Amino acid sequence: MAAELPDTPPETVEDFSGGWNTNTVPDKLPPNTSPVIYNMKVDKKRGAGKTRDGFDTVVTTNTLSKINFIARIEKSSGDICFVVSDSSITLGTIDFVTFTTLRTTQTATAVLNFTQVRDKGWFSNGSDEVWTYDCSTVTVLDGKTYSGLVTPNVPRGKFLEFDQERVWVYNSTDSPSRLYFSALTDTNAVAITPDDFRAWPVTNALDVGQGDGDVGTGLFVLQRQLHATKQRSIFTRFGTDEFTYYMRRTNSKNGAASDDSIAIGDNLAYMQDRDGIHAFDGDQSVRISDDIKDEILKRDRKHR
């Protein structure tokens, strides 16, 4: 039979900076890790475990079948509005009480992507027309004329970013590895906005690892540099104008599974790859977590 444990004082553990650890056998676990951490987050300053906050339901709407997208537009005047969507239908609101229908019959399987350009939100899903919203008016950028206004025919890309006063569109319907960008001036050197009909010449495009058998998965700005991810690589844009722009592959050995998995913090870009979470510093990546998908699924099955 097992021997009784000697009387020992209780040990207080206050440092959980090691986080979730399911790979080490229990008797070998470092004191700052745990195999069972549910609904907890680790305070970076102290390494202390803290229960995650819950949520309150603010409002519901029967117009949408679900909500898989929400964006916040803050204008220079201080006015703020929100855009919510289930992919097929998109609504606008300023108070989550009254909703205005912005777009309908969009591709239900394509999730919206968003970037703010000055006082307008730009929206694209890689399938339907790119459009803008300024908290009052929707403008579709499909090259047609609306109420006497000629719009540019912006490439239908999955991902959008605003950098160096240009709008960048990545993974379009004509090429999953092409990066388009808007012009700053017209052919007469007159300054124009990204939603000017002259702002999207077909020559304003960069190929990202063309022909490597990989597709674009995300677009983000880190440390004042634009980066385009693929499934197995990351590329950085260098240059200052259409005459000097080029894309260079970084030293990173990984890519990003999706644009939604990319989060910026502490001058690093954190992203989900096939083998776990990676931290990217602008040139190289370090894997900081194993792939926890199986662990999450296992836990979900346990608590059903």
Predicted confidence (pLDDT) per residue in 215-246, tens digit: 999 999 999 999 999 999 999 999 999 999 99
pLDDT digits (tens, 9 = 90+) for 84-130: 999 999 999 999 999 999 999 999 999 999 999 999 999 999 999 99
pLDDT digits (tens, 9 = 90+) for 280-297: 999 999 998 877 666 666
pLDDT of residue 291: 74
- Which domains does the chain carry? 19-51 (no CATH), 69-302 (2.130.10)
From the list 94, 90, 70, 91, the residue with the least C-alpha distance to 81 is 94
How much is the average pLDDT of 177-182? 97
Percent pLDDT > 70 in the chain is 90
Q: Mind giving me the DSSP string for 54-106?
A: --------SS-S---EEEEEE-TTS-EEEEEE-SS-EEEESSSSSEEEEE-S-
- Residue bearing the bigger pLDDT, 42 or 142: 142
pTM for this entry = 0.81
pLDDT digits (tens, 9 = 90+) for 11-30: 777 777 777 787 788 788 88
Would you place residue 76 in the very low, low, confident or very high pLDDT band (cuts 50, 70, 90)?
A: very high
How much is the average pLDDT of 163-185? 96
